[in-house]
Amino acid sequence: MIKRSKITGIGHYVPENIVTNQDLEKLMDTTDAWIVERTGIRQRRFFNPETDTVANMSAKATHMALERAGLQAKDIDFIILATITPDYFFPGSGVLLQRELGLKEIGALDIRNACSGFIYSLSIADQFIKTGMYKNILVVGAEIQSSAMDLSDAGRTVSVIFGDGAGAVIMQPDDRPDAGILSTHLHSDGRHAEELYIKDPGSSRHVRLNKDMIDQQGIRAHMNGNMVFKHAIVRFQEVIKEALEANNLQKEAIDLLIPHQANLRISNYVQEQLGLSDDKIYNNIMRYGNTTAASIPIAMSEAWAEGKIKENDLICLAAFGSGFTWASALIKW
């Protein structure tokens, strides 16, 4: 019989450096009211370049997840790390996380699906466990976005949104036929890749990086906010309904929806369209901003710690972001 996979431990880590909207007012022509109205964000965390890396933030989140799962690092037999901000151009940060945890020669896989990266990683881990290939998989979403932000008037529409952090889960087999990861659903549409991207440095240019690329802001994040918003509110609903239909469930069955923390207006719109009460959706973007692949596992970790995720609850995860990519997962806790 094919086993299901379950999440047995959740953890997160965010840097100590709190950056408020008032702090950003000192760097660019913006206001707290403008940022809150358009994004819902009041503060975010920025990494400390002297102490924080994607790999060690991931390790700190992992240690919390392991403790909650009642496991030790040596029990992990595979690592999947979702990030678009690796510590090096190559190798990926998965092997750096393996090193941070003091693990031997287990496999480490890096996933680059931006905001949808954690759910993509969850889906991959689910397949490995179903086939019996691995039994204790570490899945992490981690990002350092602040170092790519243009903290000036020119970059203010993007730079006020993003923050840094890491979230981790431990996945193991589950013998219960009606529990664990019920299904995952993954999508992409590369026609819109340039609507939210960082162009440089890239291997397809004659020179990967030069002064012109820096001067023309190719190394900074660029986003067509209106285009992203219009697609997100549609795809979020579609992929949530897809997950419910695949399991013959109605939206009323959802105990908690944890969306990728992209914009509070998007989350509120999706909540309204699905008719979910406030206690059936979890948002923490007001505290952390958009932490890309880390946003869902950070939110899951906090929701679990607050008692909002309980045994037998139906949890729906959904994400939309750069690529465009979007995804959902339905979990019976």
Active-site positions read: 115, 260, 290
List the beta bridge partners of residue 317.
258, 329
Contacts of 183 (CB under 8 A, 6+ apart): 243, 246, 247, 329, 330
Give the separation between CA 331 and CA 312, rounded to whole angstroms. 9
Q: Tokens 């009642």, residue?
A: 70
Give the separation between CA 68 and CA 8, rounded to whole angstroms. 8
Q: Is 69 exposed, middle or buried (0-12, 13-18, 19+ CB in 10 A)?
A: buried
Q: Is 190 exposed, middle or buried (0-12, 13-18, 19+ CB in 10 A)?
A: exposed
Give the separation between CA 165 and CA 146, rounded to whole angstroms. 10
Give the separation between CA 188 and CA 303, rounded to whole angstroms. 28
CB 291 within 8 A of CB 161: no
Q: Tokens 């994607």, residue?
A: 54
Identify how many contiguous H helices and E strands the chain contains and give both numbers.
11, 13
Tell me if residue 179 falls in helix, strand or coil.
coil
CA atoms within 13 A on the CB side of 251: 17
CA atoms within 13 A on the CB side of 228: 21
Tell me if residue 155 falls in helix, strand or coil.
helix
Q: Is 106 exposed, middle or buried (0-12, 13-18, 19+ CB in 10 A)?
A: middle
Strands 256-259 and 314-321: parallel
